[in-house]
Amino acid sequence: MKADIISIGDELLKGHRVNTNAPYIAKALGTIGIPVERIVTCSDDTESIWHALVSSLQDADIVLVTGGLGPTRDDRTRKAVQDLLGRGLVFWPDAYERIAGIFRLRGRELTEEMRDQAMVIEGSVPVANTKGTAPGMIIDCGQRFGNHHLVLMPGVPVEMEAMTTLTVIPYFAPMSGSFIRHTPVMTMGIGESMLAGMINEVEDSMPAHTTLSYLPHAAGVRLMVSTTGRDRDEVDAENRGVVDAIVSRAGDYIYATSDASLEEVVVRLLVERGLTVAVAESCTGGLVSSRITDVPGSSECFLQGEVTYSNAAKESLLGVGRATIEAYGAVSEQVALEMARGCLERSGADIAVATTGIAGPGGGSADKPVGMLCLAVASKQADGAVREEVSTLQHFGDRSQNKARFSEAALRALLERLRKTASVVTRDP
Amino acid sequence: MKADIISIGDELLKGHRVNTNAPYIAKALGTIGIPVERIVTCSDDTESIWHALVSSLQDADIVLVTGGLGPTRDDRTRKAVQDLLGRGLVFWPDAYERIAGIFRLRGRELTEEMRDQAMVIEGSVPVANTKGTAPGMIIDCGQRFGNHHLVLMPGVPVEMEAMTTLTVIPYFAPMSGSFIRHTPVMTMGIGESMLAGMINEVEDSMPAHTTLSYLPHAAGVRLMVSTTGRDRDEVDAENRGVVDAIVSRAGDYIYATSDASLEEVVVRLLVERGLTVAVAESCTGGLVSSRITDVPGSSECFLQGEVTYSNAAKESLLGVGRATIEAYGAVSEQVALEMARGCLERSGADIAVATTGIAGPGGGSADKPVGMLCLAVASKQADGAVREEVSTLQHFGDRSQNKARFSEAALRALLERLRKTASVVTRDP
């Protein structure tokens, strides 16, 4: 079985909106072993929709369409499908009940338009919309179209996502009869070619139904180990075998074998070990704190952050010496160290990270170019002493890229310190 | 003239990457009046590429292809085009010089593979790659394909973006002969239907070549005023007329008539007026500071931020009273006010904003549910007094949506305070 996705909407063609629905559906289909062959974005006029449907229904066993299902005059998907299949509409009481309920809650009157939204195409399996009003449909298109299936869903992401997960995937899983398992292997601090050298043997002896791909991500390389087959247990076992082999060879550079972000791994490690963290930021401007606090439950380990953009703030909030700033400049390893030390002491945290650098576009010089980052970590040792580390890195992006990479480097430094277990005090969780 | 975009790459079909290249190209083509009719994503095998090319070259005057141009074996676009057009390759010395230069800089040896990257298709206009190695190409496909044009670009976003802006758009602009002007009108604090009611008259009397669309964004509604025509001055004038009419009716809710973010407008206003800002954050965890410091030049107005996640940090960094926290709870208007006041006093800034709330998923209660935000602004008045304002908002998203909306609300509160000119002290810039 294979699938096509058709995304309908003029706003997508004008570039005013990025198509996030198609990758969501593609990923979900991937989990039940149905590959996507084409993603087509077309205009929301009836003719364009009609052409896209005809073209995709020829080859693809399943054609999933998002967009153009709603009460406004721009929404013409249902009409195009009716024309193509020569079918009428039938009333679906469940959808009407839901729509009426929503309107009652909001104290608004039900219009005729709303009743129209509860009409689904004859012979379709209606798909409940748990997040909105317009129902979706799964349609067997009949012998004329090789009994290929058409799935109609709204373009609103939350509505489409709920329908895909709750109804569409369970509906097609038994038909597919094959499974796919993707396992991401997240690495950091190593380039693609060096990593490839380390896991050469694994790649050369890989089982037939498993593939390995390299995707760059902000901190390093994301490996994706993908296995397909008809027996879920066998697929899982084969996939796990390859992942384990990679970890045994390149484990030092691997921080997760899931889609976890660096901040999730850092927070998990901190919470597991009952440790607390604080952050002192200059050039990252709050991004490191914000990323840590993106993780649910981070309040268990994150105490505070200081965003010290001005020199005065570095002095008053972190106790950086004016003399240090005057002697070495605000962007220097000396200042980074004093920031981390001050942050550790004043917050009472077990580990602190500090960033000072030049995000750009202004502020660079020959000595200290745009993209330069001084990064320090201070941590309490088991013996009560404070361990300090500092390094200088150079990146080459624009302001937002630099901020992202600077924050990635800070999280990486925290993680590396935490992984050297003995050197950070461990508390009873 | 009309265009198709073909995005090549298995990682797009598997949903492992979101296609941001296509909207970038579509937007750029829009500025020279070339509409995109279809966006097709296909696999990177030669046959899929060949089929997509044949299908698009039938209808579209310009077919823009991204991906599959590079040194690895996955990159098969050039080969597919050669097969389709029956053309050979020629050596492009400029590209070779650039590639050799990059290798010299990195101290690496030039391989035969690298020489291959400097080969372009016979009869093409080579497109310099200012951000990477593989050159792009603009190809007149000849009479067999109605002299339709093919544009080949790498899939790496920064390389594709530079080629589009520097070469592709200037190349096709004279051929198009028509122009389009999109002006975004950014509103905040008003819903779609209320806004539509305010600008009804403008919509009803809109000139023939102008359209108005409503797109929701995080802070409110983004209106897009689009005008097309063959005379650039007329297009601009007609577009400006409609934008002015909208501003005159709904100006109170409009914060920009460009794609400016709230933080850009806030920073611009602060810098123009020589004012400084500081931020005290609990539930937004550094995101407000990070967004302000995303803006180039923000160091001119942003002094510092305190991310006070723990109660101890609220007390030590901002001077919030322990009694206040005990009496009202950390998420309360009283604590928000003390945070803003403490932040203003200790930072020496002219205006300060503070957030405390419950981002979720944990930490909510019947009284203080997930999504609740207490928001305070403190600002210095012309007479030396401090003006304080506080409000409580309720959102209904998940953790990351709530953080985003909370930060949007904080920036909006800063902007609203700054727009009430008289109430914030104005300095000589």
Q: Which residues pair with A373 in a beta bridge?
A: A357, A393
Distance between CA B404 and CA B411 in Å, rounded? 11
What residue in B sits closest to A40 (Cα-Cα)?
B40
Q: Of A289, A290, A304, which is closest to B317 when you measure between CB atoms?
A: A304
- Chain A contact set for B16 (CB, 8 A): 23, 27, 215, 224
Per-residue pLDDT tens over the stretch A291-317: 999 999 999 999 999 999 999 999 999
List CB contacts (< 8 A) between B215 and chain A.
11, 16-17
Q: How far is CA A23 from the centre of its chain?
A: 11
Q: Which residues pair with B390 in a beta bridge?
A: B376
Check whether A426 has a pLDDT greater than 90: no
ipTM > 0.85 for the complex: no
- Residue among B283, B181, B268 at smallest CA distance from B232: B181
Lowest mean pLDDT among A126-135, A218-227, B291-300, B327-336: A218-227
What is the count of structural domains for chain B?
A: 3
Enumerate the β-bridge partners of residue B62: B3, B149
CA dist., res. B24 & res. B159, Å (int)? 12
| Residue B317 sits at the chain A interface (C-beta within 8 Å) | yes
Contact B304, A310 (CB under 8 A): yes
Collect all residues of chain A within an 8 Å Cβ-Cβ radius of residue B288: 286
Does the structure show a pLDDT above 60 at A223? Answer: yes
Q: Which amino acid would we find at residue B149?
A: H
pLDDT of residue A341: 97
Chain A 90-119, CB below 8 Å of chain B: which residues?
none
Residues of A in contact with B289 (CB under 8 A): 285-286, 289-290, 307
d(CA B355, CA B284): 7
How far is CA A31 from each of CA A152, A157, A424, B93, rounded to the nearest angstrom?
Answer: 20, 19, 40, 47
Judge whether A22 lies within some domain. Answer: yes
A28 inside domain: yes
| Tens digits of residue pLDDT in A62-89 | 999 999 886 665 678 999 999 999 999 9
Q: How confident is the model at residue A33 (pLDDT cuts 50, 70, 90)?
A: confident
- Calculate the alpha carbon distances from A30 to B13, B40, B134 in Å: 10, 19, 31
Cα–Cα distance measured from residue A53 to residue A49, given in angstroms and rounded to the nearest whole number = 6
What pLDDT sits at residue B428?
46
Query: Average pLDDT, stretch A311-331?
Result: 96
> How many contacts, defined by CB atoms under 8 Å, are there between A and B?
232
In angstroms, the separation between the Cα of residue B124 and the nearest Cα of chain A is 27
Whether residue A361 is preceded by a cis peptide bond, meaning omega within 30 degrees of 0, is yes
- Within 8 A of B406 by CB-CB distance, chain A residues are none
Calculate mean pLDDT across residues A27-40. 92
The CA-CA-CA angle for residues A367, A368, A372, to 5°, reads 140
Q: Do B306 and A317 touch (CB under 8 A)?
A: yes
What's the CA gap between A346 and A338, in Å, rounded?
12
CATH number, residue B79: 3.40.980.10
Query: Residue B267: CB partners within 8 Å, gap ≥ 6?
Result: B292, B295, B297, B298, B301, B302
Task: Please list the ranges in chain B whose pLDDT falls under 50.
Answer: 423, 426, 428-429
A21 close to B (CB below 8 A): no
B chain contacts of residue A215, beta-carbon cutoff 8 Å: 11, 16-17
List CB contacts (< 8 A) between A294 and chain B: 285, 399-400, 403
d(CA B309, CA A304): 5
Q: Do B399 and A30 touch (CB under 8 A)?
A: no
The predicted pLDDT at position A397 comes to: 80
Strand partners, A354: A280, A376
Smallest CA-to-CA distance from B334 within B393, B375, B282 is with: B375
Q: How many angstroms separate the CA atoms of B161 and B168, rounded?
A: 10
In the predicted model, is pLDDT for residue A110 greater than 80? no
Residue in A30, A310, A313 nearest the CB of B15: A30
Max mean pLDDT range (A165-174, A351-360, B86-95, B254-263): A351-360
Last-in-domain residue among B142, B176, B210: B176
Residues facing B281 on adjacent strands: B307, B355
* Residues of chain A numbered 157-186 and touching chain B (CB < 8 Å): 182
* Beta pairing, strands B351-357 & B277-281: parallel
| DSSP assigned state of A359 | -
**In a shared domain, residues B96 and B141:** yes
The Cα–Cα gap between B162 and B138 comes to 15
**What Å distances lie between residue A27 and A4, A185, B19, CA to CA?**
13, 17, 14
Q: How far apart are CA A364 and CA A248, in angstroms?
A: 42
CATH number at residue B236: 3.30.70.2860
d(CA B122, CA A32): 44
> B42 to chain A: nearest residue by CA?
A38
**Under an 8 A CB cutoff, do B293 and A42 touch?**
no
Look at residue A160 and tell me if it is in a domain.
Answer: yes
Kindly state the helix (H) or strand (E) to which residue B310 belongs, with its residue range. Answer: none
- Out of A256, A277, A301, a domain closes at A256
| pLDDT above 90 for A10 | no
Chain-chain contact of A294 with B213 (C-beta, under 8 angstroms): no
Q: Note whether B361 contacts A: Cβ–Cβ < 8 A.
A: yes
Using an 8 Å CB-CB cutoff, list chain A residues near B363. Answer: 299
Cβ neighbours of A305 in B, within 8 Å: 285-286, 305-307, 309
Look at A320 and B158; give whichever has higher pLDDT.
Answer: A320
Tokens of B105: 């800089």
Contact B289, A307 (CB under 8 A): yes
- Looking at the complex, does the CB of residue A361 fall below 8 Å from at least one CB of chain B? yes
Secondary structure of residue B422 in the 3-state scheme: helix
Q: Is residue B428 part of a domain?
A: no
Residue A128 lies in a domain: yes
Same domain flag for B271 and B290: yes
Question: Do residues A236 and A194 lie in contact, with contact meaning Cβ atoms separated by under 8 Å?
Answer: no
Q: What is the mean pLDDT of chain A?
A: 90
Encode A35-53: b = buried (16+ Cβ within 10 Å), e = exposed.
Answer: bbbbbbbbbbeeebbbbbb
Helix (H) or strand (E) holding A145: none
Cβ contacts of A306 on chain B, cutoff 8 Å: 304-307, 317
pLDDT the model gives residue B158: 87
CA distance B86 to chain A (A): 26
Looking only at the bridges linking them, the beta strands covering A210-217 and A220-229 are antiparallel
Cβ contact B160:B153 at 8 Å: yes
Same-domain check for residues B40 and B152: yes
Cα A84 to Cα A5, A145, A147, B55, distances in angstroms: 17, 10, 14, 21
A198 and A155 together in one domain = no
A contacts of B23 (beta carbons < 8 Å): 12, 15-19
Q: CA triplet A406, A410, A411: central angle to 5 degrees?
A: 120
Distance, in Å, from the CA atom of A386 to the CA atom of A373, rounded to the nearest integer, reads: 22
Q: Which residues pair with A42 in a beta bridge?
A: A8, B38
For residues A125-142, average pLDDT: 92
Q: How far is A40 from chain B (nearest CA, A)?
A: 4
Do B171 and B239 belong to one domain? Answer: no
Whether residue B304 sits in one domain with residue B200: no
Which of A215, A293, A307 lies closest to B305 in CB terms? A307
CA A260 to chain centroid: 9
Reported as a single tens digit per residue, the pLDDT across A182-214 is: 899 999 878 777 888 899 899 888 888 898 888
- A422 in Cβ contact with A382 (< 8 Å): yes
Residues B206 and B325 in one domain: no
State whether B296 and A361 contact (CB < 8 Å).
yes
Q: Which of A25, A286, A403 sits opposite B305 (nearest CB)?
A: A286
CB of A340 within 8 A of CB of A354? yes
pLDDT at residue A422 tops 80: no
d(CA A160, nearest CA chain B) in Å: 15
Q: Give the HSE-up count for residue A144: Cα atoms under 13 Å, Cβ half-sphere.
A: 5
Question: Whole domain around residue A134: which residue ranges?
Answer: 3-176
Burial-class residue B274 by CB neighbours within 10 Å (0-12, 13-18, 19+). Answer: middle
* A35–B contact, CB cutoff 8 A: yes
Dihedrals phi, psi of B107, to nearest 5 degrees: 65, 30
Residue A395 has pLDDT above 50, yes or no: yes
Tell me how close the Cα of A27 comes to any Cα of chain B, in angstroms. 5
Task: Give the mean model confidence (pLDDT) for residues A171-187.
Answer: 89
Q: Indicate if A305 and A403 belong to the same structural domain.
A: yes
Do the Cβ atoms of A414 and A266 come closer than 8 Å? yes
- Any chain A CB within 8 A of the CB of B420? no
> Are B275 and B224 in a shared domain?
no
The label of the residue with tokens 């550790």 reads A344
In a domain, B291, yes or no: yes
**Among B189, B221, B256, residue at a domain's last position:** B256
Task: Check if A77 contacts B (Cβ < 8 Å).
Answer: no
| Within a domain: A302 | yes
CB-based contacts of B140: which residues, under 8 Å, 6+ apart? B123, B147, B149
Q: Determine the residue of chain B that is closest to A310 in CA distance.
A: B303
A42 shares contact with chain B (CB less than 8 Å): yes
Residue A278 confidence (pLDDT): 98
Residue B43: list chain A partners with CB under 8 A: 37
State which amino acid sits at residue B363. Answer: G
A161 has pLDDT over 70: yes
Reduced to 3 states (helix: H, G, I; strand: E, B; else coil), residue A102 is helix
Neighbours of B108 (CB within 10 A): 10
pLDDT band at A429 (very low <50, low <70, confident <90, very high): very low
In this structure, is residue A108 part of a structural domain?
A: yes
Cis peptide before B126 (omega within 30 of 0): no
| B17-20 long-range contacts, CB within 8 A, separation 24+ | B17/A23, B17/A215, B18/A18, B18/A19, B18/A20, B18/A23, B19/A18, B19/A19, B19/A22, B19/A23, B19/A39, B20/A18, B20/B157
Give B318→chain A minimum CA distance, Å.
10
Q: Residue B276 sits in a domain of what CATH number?
A: 3.90.950.20
Are A303 and A333 found together in one domain?
A: yes
B304 closest CB neighbour out of A24, A313, A347: A313
Residue A330, amino acid? A
On whether any CB of chain A is under 8 Å from the CB of B71, the answer is no
Which strands sit side by side in the sheet containing A62-66, from one edge to the other?
A124-127, A136-140, A149-153, A62-66, A3-8, A36-42, B36-42, B3-8, B62-66, B149-153, B136-140, B124-127
A400 touches chain B (CB under 8 A): yes
Beta strands in A326-422 (DSSP E): 351-357, 372-380, 386-394
Q: Report chain B residues whose CB lies below 8 A from the CB of A158.
A: none
Using CB atoms within 10 A of its CB, is residue B293 exposed (0-12), middle (13-18) or buried (19+)? buried
At position B146, the amino acid (one-letter code) is G
The percentage of residues in chain A with a pLDDT greater than 70, rounded to a whole number, is 95
Q: Give me the residue from B48, B289, B400 closest to A307, CB to CB.
A: B289
Q: Do A249 and A383 have their domain in common?
A: no
Structure-token pair, residue A101: 């309920």
Residue B425 confidence (pLDDT): 56
Confidence band (pLDDT; 50, 70, 90) for A44? confident
Q: In this complex, is the C-beta atom of A352 within 8 Å of any C-beta atom belonging to chain B?
A: no
pLDDT of residue B132: 82
B342, B398: one domain: yes
pLDDT digits (tens, 9 = 90+) for A255-274: 999 888 899 999 999 999 99
Q: Which residues face B214 on adjacent strands?
A: B223
